[in-house]
Structure 1
Amino acid sequence: MKLGVGQYALAIAAFGLYAMAEAAPAKADTASEIRALKARLSKLEADEAQAKREAKAAAQHVASAHAAPAGSPPPPQHWYERLSLRGYTQMRYNDILNGGPFYNDISTVGDKSVGPRQNFFLRRARMILSGDVSEHLYLYFQNDFASSPSGTFSNSPGAAVYSNFAQQSVYYYYNPGVLFPYPGYNQVGNYSSAPGNFGQIRDLYADIYFDKDKEFRVRAGQSKIPYSFENLQSSQNRLALDRADAVNSCCKDERDIGLFFYYTPKHLRPIFRDLVKNNLKGSGDYGMFAFGVYNGQGANRIELNKGTHLVARFTYPYVFENGQIVEGSVAGYTGRFVPYTTGIRPSLGGGTNWAGFIPLNIPYSGIGSGFTPYVAGSGWNNLGNYQLAQYGATNGWGPVVANGAGVQDSRVVVNGVIYPQPFGLRAEWNWGVGPQLNATQTAIEVKRLTGGYVEATYKYEDKEFGTGTYFPFVKWQYYNGGSKFDNNAPMMRINEWEAGIEYQPLPELEFTVNYSKMDRTNTQAAPYRQFQANLVRMQLQWNY
């Protein structure tokens, strides 16, 4: 402890008093000397207090001399004082409990770690730079350093002839040579050395505010499309490890480049903020009302037509007197999407367990694997009721594209949320039309789609022992429609249950265990076979 002047004086006086008491005769009167020492100590303390007052007054005088005039703006901040840096990382591990005869078909759109021969996997590694550059400009820049390119496994088609009265044949990408329905596990294909974990932009936008309350703003750049609550909800906050394909199939990576207008009344801004801040699994502030125009081909993808997509959304969170919050929303978008195509061998049964059958008595039975499906959209040369056998059935046939404007792509979604206090319930459903490979896998056409999900959860905070926060949950999802962002926009059928628990021992640490009972289509490789599997996944997330 640091001693003041008064304390030093008191110590010296006490020592001197002790010395005099030892040296002086016993009969000496020390009372007068003690009174004198106390008087000196009081004077020293008074002098010290006066010195402190004078130093404080001098400092205030210097500060007022250098202070800015009344009403003037505060001094400018450095850039690092206006922006903040944060992020999070997700590491996963999966174990396929069983996959039936189609083990090698097990694959999902949202998680590349799902599949045979997989172990640990970095799903996301995000760094976020954000902040108010000024009163009217906000910057948000998010990069993901765990992005992986496609094509890390190459599949080569093979065919096994099944001789029966129907004269049918069937081919498999992974396991040819064994008759249906027991195709075996022989692998055809090869591994490539394509690396992963590249840095890629997720968000890069500026919010431009038009008023001091920041109720009106325009978001310019690459950002999330205001369609679907679960798409807007950050993966940092979501319980289920992947978004439901029924709503996520609308927008690849949930983002695109465009201009989005948001209106959030002043009294709602704290509600949207606190639903995330208070660990209630909110989606963030994407406006009570939103309207936008964007490319439509997806994030980090080149635009392929001159048309744009339009989107609009309305949502409202209602707070009851007991503090419970419910939210309802409706959104829709429309535009024309240009599908991505690649050579395949047309067959029957896409989206079923018997996909890959090729009846020998129809014109395209002799077509090889180099056939590119025809896109039946505006701007493509329309061949009408063409005979495929006349267009290179043996060597394959490629369609002639003439400034394709794309295929009609329109949806509407409704959503309802009861936030977990402690019980939570969330549901979404969407309907629409979009590009989809037809039943004979020869053309991509406009087809109807429908699907959604229901998720229930419970929030338990262990306040007695302080072990953390627990979120047990169960989720069901369904989808029947095209997977427009995959090559050839194959049909996707999903009927899936999953259950799990998210455990937060600390705010910066989360651990999730997730079980999935899967019944879905492998949209990554033709013949786009349906598979059933039971899967356990684990994820460790750390926030910083």
Structure 2
Amino acid sequence: MFSPINKSLTTFYFKINFILFLVLSIPAAKAQITRPAAQDTVPSSIRPVDDTKGDAPAKSKWYDKIGLRGYVQVRYNRLLETNPLLQSGHDKSVGEHGGFLIRRARLVFSGDVHERVYIYIQPDFASTPGGSSSLHFGQLRDAYVDLSLDKQKEYRLRIGQSKLPYGFENLQSSQNRLTLDRHDALNSGVPNERDLGVFFYWAPAKIRERFSYLTSSGLKGSGDYGVFGLGIYNGQAVNNPEANNNQHVVARLSYPLALKNGQIIEPGIQAYSGIYTVTKDQLSSSNLVGGNFTDRRVAASLVVYPQPFGFQTEYNIGEGPEFDPVTRTIRVKNLKGGYAQAMYMLKLKSHTLIPFVKAQYYEGGKKVELDARYSKTYETEIGVEWQPLQAFELVAQYTISDRTTRDGRDLDNHQFGNLLRLQAQFNF
């Protein structure tokens, strides 16, 4: 039986209209501006090309064009734990034998190597390869080039390994996200959020400046993935080779609207479609048969940025490979799920506090897990982010989780439990 808290998740999700009414009736904080950012605050990668004539500038060195930044996250998840058998598909240190974990250790190398060419390379030194019991391997997360097709840099081609334009929270960096992990519903469609492909992005210059402002101002933006995005990619998840002769196609439309009261809201819609191959190494026994399966979804998003009250919600439906415990086979089945999150930004002198609450629900297959594992998740997260310094922030999150999974090794694994999770993040 599900707890009363988890039984109410679906009701909570469908009452968001009342919350949105309250959000839009609250004036945004005066500190939030809607005019375009000053030119000197706009990253060079989105500034229009200046083709005016004049004296030729001195030729810069390659190291003057490349910037370096990064962040490190350290976690502990065992406080007030009620069920050590409860696990999470996002964090291997949740549950029995979990201890301190370096969740992220990332460096970002980026810069304009040409007036129309921007590069971005991000390795992570806290990765764990599939099937390995060891931690903290170096692994490539992003490696792409943005090629601007016009002088205003409104039309771009992104070539390489990068995030897929499917879902707001999937695009939001872990460095900016409030909750410690992404929700299951949309993330199960694009696990690890990335893949190798070619993508087209378009956004007017003033909207690109707004995307940049939503991130740099601390409002928890997703970054600049255009007003419209369209791409083709392998579809077997990041750092995995293609396993069939079909590529996935993804499209997204999202626009940050600036209201008269200073509030910014961002509605969005996205979808992807392709063929996913369940490979032999994903199967729990030789009796199971993998192969090619339809994999497609459509999702809607709505974000109200915290000025000071914020709200975001996403929901998707679709179909994909899923383990069927009755026939003990993998079949194409329907899936559904989403989340709703409320937050409030408090400024106390040099300190920033953002309390939040998030409820999520998902039912369907997880295509990259063992036997395309069936999963049913009800989860509530209540926490607060504290940032006393720009270079340091601490998150405390109490999680109430009810998870059921089914695969060839365990036909009915139902775990319920609560735990307090802590994360220290260092930005540099």
* Distance (Å, rounded) in 2 between the aligned partners of 1:521 and 1:83: 46
Pair 1:517-2:400 in alignment: yes
Query: 69, 82, 85: which one pairs with 2:65?
Result: 82
1:494 counterpart residue number: 377
What is the identity, as a one-letter code, of the residue corresponding to 1:117?
Answer: H
1:523–1:245 Cα change, 3 Å = farther
* Distance (Å, rounded) in 2 between the aligned partners of 1:523 and 1:237: 33
* Distance (Å, rounded) in 2 between the aligned partners of 1:227 and 1:200: 22
SS in 2 for 1:518: strand
1:249 counterpart residue number: 188
Contact kept, 8 Å, 1:246 with 1:430, in 2: the verdict is: yes
Contact kept, 8 Å, 2:376 with 2:405, in 1: the verdict is: no
2:108 counterpart residue number: 128
2:387 counterpart residue number: 504
Q: CA deviation at 1:440?
A: 2.5
* Distance (Å, rounded) in 1 between the aligned partners of 2:257 and 2:130: 43
TM-score by length of 1: 0.67
How many residues align? The count is 374
Structure 2: where are the runs of 5+ without partners? Answer: 1-52
What is the identity, as a one-letter code, of the residue corresponding to 2:418?
Answer: N
Q: CA deviation at 1:542?
A: 0.2
What is the identity, as a one-letter code, of the residue corresponding to 1:535?
Answer: L
Pair 1:443-2:329 in alignment: yes
Q: CA deviation at 1:525?
A: 8.1
Identity percentage over the alignment?
A: 46
Pair 1:209-2:148 in alignment: yes
1:158 counterpart residue number: none
Pair 1:540-2:424 in alignment: yes
1:56 counterpart residue number: none
1:115 counterpart residue number: 95
Which structure shows the higher strand fraction? 2
RMSD in angstroms over aligned alpha carbons? 1.6
2:353 counterpart residue number: 470
2:364 counterpart residue number: 481
SS in 1 for 2:255: strand
What is the identity, as a one-letter code, of the residue corresponding to 1:418?
Answer: V
Which structure shows the higher helix fraction? 1
1:303-342 equivalences in 2 (<5 Å): 303-341=242-280, 342=282
1:123–1:427 Cα change, 3 Å = same
Q: CA deviation at 1:76?
A: 1.3
1:339–1:96 Cα change, 3 Å = farther
Pair 1:280-2:166 in alignment: no
* Distance (Å, rounded) in 2 between the aligned partners of 1:270 and 1:343: 46
Pair 1:430-2:316 in alignment: yes
2:345 counterpart residue number: 459
1:348-363 equivalences in 2 (<5 Å): none
Write the deviation string for residues 41-71 of structure 1: whole angstroms up to 9, x where unpaired.
Answer: xxxxxxxxxxxxxxxxxxxxxxxxxxxxx73
2:118 counterpart residue number: 138
SS in 2 for 1:374: coil
SS in 2 for 1:253: coil
Write the deviation string for residues 374-418 of structure 1: whole angstroms up to 9, x where unpaired.
Answer: 23xxxxxxxxxxxxxxxxxxxxxxxxxxxx4x1000000000011
Contact kept, 8 Å, 2:299 with 2:317, in 1: the verdict is: yes
Contact kept, 8 Å, 1:486 with 1:524, in 2: the verdict is: no
* Distance (Å, rounded) in 2 between the aligned partners of 1:99 and 1:432: 34
1:500–1:525 Cα change, 3 Å = farther
What is the identity, as a one-letter code, of the residue corresponding to 1:123?
Answer: R
Structure ID, larger Rg: 1
Pair 1:374-2:289 in alignment: yes
Contact kept, 8 Å, 1:260 with 1:290, in 2: the verdict is: yes
* Distance (Å, rounded) in 1 between the aligned partners of 2:134 and 2:96: 18
What is the identity, as a one-letter code, of the residue corresponding to 2:99?
Answer: N
Contact kept, 8 Å, 1:247 with 1:430, in 2: the verdict is: yes
1:339–1:79 Cα change, 3 Å = same
Contact kept, 8 Å, 1:316 with 1:327, in 2: the verdict is: yes
SS in 2 for 1:429: strand
Contact kept, 8 Å, 1:373 with 1:441, in 2: the verdict is: no
What is the identity, as a one-letter code, of the residue corresponding to 1:470?
Answer: L
Contact kept, 8 Å, 2:92 with 2:98, in 1: the verdict is: no
Write the deviation string for residues 121-156 of structure 1: whole angstroms up to 9, x where unpaired.
Answer: 00000000000001110000000000013445xxxx
1:529 counterpart residue number: 413
Structure 1: where are the runs of 5+ without partners? Answer: 1-69, 153-193, 345-369, 376-403
* Distance (Å, rounded) in 2 between the aligned partners of 1:343 and 1:272: 42
* Distance (Å, rounded) in 2 between the aligned partners of 1:255 and 1:475: 24
Q: CA deviation at 1:266?
A: 1.3
Contact kept, 8 Å, 2:328 with 2:408, in 1: the verdict is: no
* Distance (Å, rounded) in 2 between the aligned partners of 1:477 and 1:535: 16
Contact kept, 8 Å, 1:340 with 1:486, in 2: the verdict is: no
SS in 1 for 2:169: helix
SS in 2 for 1:256: strand
What is the identity, as a one-letter code, of the residue corresponding to 2:422?
Answer: M
1:40-79 equivalences in 2 (<5 Å): 71-79=54-62
SS in 1 for 2:185: helix
With 114-123 and 229-238 compared, the bigger mean Cα shift is at 114-123
Contact kept, 8 Å, 1:340 with 1:487, in 2: the verdict is: no
SS in 1 for 2:63: helix
* Distance (Å, rounded) in 2 between the aligned partners of 1:259 and 1:220: 5
Contact kept, 8 Å, 2:325 with 2:407, in 1: the verdict is: no
Write the deviation string for residues 249-279 of structure 1: whole angstroms up to 9, x where unpaired.
Answer: 0112100000000001112011100000000
* Distance (Å, rounded) in 1 between the aligned partners of 2:308 and 2:264: 11
* Distance (Å, rounded) in 1 between the aligned partners of 2:179 and 2:149: 37
Q: CA deviation at 1:340?
A: 3.6
- The structure 1 segments of at least 4 consecutive aligned residues displaced by more than 6 Å after TM superposition are none
